[in-house]
Amino acid sequence: MALWCMSVLLILGFLSKSDLGEAQLSDEAALLAIKRDLRVPGWGSSSTEYCTWDRLKCGSNNSFVETLDLSGLQLRGNVTLISDLRSLKHLDLSRNSFTGPIPASLGNLSELEFLDLSLNRFAGGIPVEFGNLRGLRWLNVSNNLLCLWFITEYGLELVHGFEKTKLAKE
């Protein structure tokens, strides 16, 4: 019986480490794609541990990317790849040159608590997918080209519990 219990524990331990390894590979692949597409300055090569790169922080045991701060770099391009970082809690893309609609895929970041998209050139409204961001407590989309009537009527009614929301110039 003791041998059977030890076998089960070993298998469970192996499976959890395997899942962690897959998640790390997924975050690494996403970061390499973001680095390539957005040309993020100061990020290391693919041979360095990504959790040591500037402007990001990983969780315990360097497992998942939890903070990504790309503010003030005048980046432009497609930010949808960021939604592949499923454990993000803090995302700051402020003071860049992003254009077009706010990507609906950011609404898939279910762990997100802080989101700053201010001082870009995003247009349109807040995607209804942001209603999935149940843990979001701080949102800043000011100084963009957004339609405020669309935001207040359709975009935020599904998101609850904000500590801070900044929609327009104050």
Radius of gyration of the chain (CA): 18
| Cβ-based neighbour number of residue 108 at 10 Å | 14
Closest CA to 93 of 154, 159, 40, 158: 40
pLDDT in tens, 1-60: 554 444 433 443 443 333 444 445 589 999 999 999 999 998 876 667 889 999 999 998
d(CA 97, CA 75): 6
Q: What is the pLDDT of residue 138?
A: 92
> Other C-beta atoms within 10 Å of 150: how many?
12
- The predicted-structure confidence for 47-101, as pLDDT tens digits, reads as follows 678 899 999 999 988 789 999 999 999 999 999 999 999 999 999 999 999 999 9
Domains of the chain in sequence order: 2-166 (3.80.10.10)
> Is there a contact between 146 and 122 (Cβ–Cβ < 8 Å)?
yes
Q: How far is CA 117 from the centre of its chain?
A: 11
